[in-house]
Amino acid sequence: MVWSLLGAVAAAVCFGTGSVLQALAARTAPTGAGVDPRLLVRLVRRLPFLVGTGLDLLGFVAELAALRSLPLFVVQAVIAANLAVTAVVAAWVLHIRLSAREWGAVAAVCAGLALLGLAAGHENPASVSLAFRLALLGCVVLMGAAGMLAGRLRGETRSAVLGFVAGLGFGFVAIGARVLVSLSPLDLLGDPATYVVAGGGLSAFLFFATALQRGSVTTTTAAMVVAETVVPALVGVVLLGDDTRHGYTWSAVLGFLMAVVGTLVLARFGEPAAETAEAAPAPTSHH
């Protein structure tokens, strides 16, 4: 179980670093109207996005390994805590000043993760029916449609809704990974959960990149954190049988709340590059 926890932490570090690079690429890409799938095509031409995506893939492998033996509520809280890592790195590398409130949030996240680690019980991959997997796939399709509609909204509402939908997409990635029957190539091709992971991940990338490009970093990231932590945690506890060690429910609940609330305080670090945008010359697009 210790190795699984370390895997979740490694995933958070990869995701936190990758999001910085992807956000930098998203900010320099040409904008379009609404949610434009061609945005991903434009982004893959940028080295920061490619490197960030590579880190995301490494993070996903570590997350997948953690999800094979840890409850969803533990893994997702650890993953969301990548913003604490990003904040500390931003303070060191980008010389961004953290307030006492933000340092307190970093400490709260660390303490919350420690409590979650204390409470985490060992879980096996969840055994669910084919109908459940197909229902998950249907939810991913509906989520994609909702995200496309959200792109027509304006202002902070669009940022919040797109961020929330992106968070749902990342949540479906975790849920799909949790219910995969087998990791052998042939089994993966025939398992609807594989397409839940792929569809949820691609949709989340698109919606999150769109929201970062055109809206508030803090609003987008906060909405995403809520969706990608709370929704999978509820699914894991209610439908997949995730549980804590005997007598440690209090530790799991308190740790989860501390980690999520602390992460929300650090939401502005969903794109630390934005903190130095005013001091730097505006990027010039080569397209």
Tell whether 285 is covered by a domain: no
Tell whether 283 is covered by a domain: no
Tell whether 61 is covered by a domain: yes
Tell whether 101 is covered by a domain: yes
Tell whether 65 is covered by a domain: yes
Sorting pLDDT into bands at 50, 70 and 90, what band is 180? Answer: confident
Q: Check: pTM over 0.85? Answer yes or no.
A: no
Q: Which two tokens stand for residue 120?
A: 């985490």
Tell whether 154 is covered by a domain: yes
Domain that holds residue 217: 2-275
Residues in the chain: 287
Q: How many domains does the chain have?
A: 1
* pLDDT per position as a tens digit, 16-30: 777 667 666 666 655
pLDDT at 211 over 50: yes
pLDDT at 228 over 80: yes
pLDDT at 135 over 70: yes
* pLDDT per position as a tens digit, 57-102: 898 889 888 888 888 889 989 888 888 877 887 677 667 788 899 8
Tell whether 287 is covered by a domain: no
Q: How far is CA 6 from CA 18, 48, 212, 262, 267, in A?
A: 18, 26, 29, 20, 23
By C-alpha distance, which of 266, 271, 272 is closest to 105? 266
* Per-residue three-class SS string for 89-135: HHHHHCCCCCCHHHHHHHHHHHHHHHHHHHHECCCCCCCCCHHHHHH
Sorting pLDDT into bands at 50, 70 and 90, what band is 258? Answer: very high
* φ and ψ of 197, to 5 deg: -65, -50
Tell whether 280 is covered by a domain: no
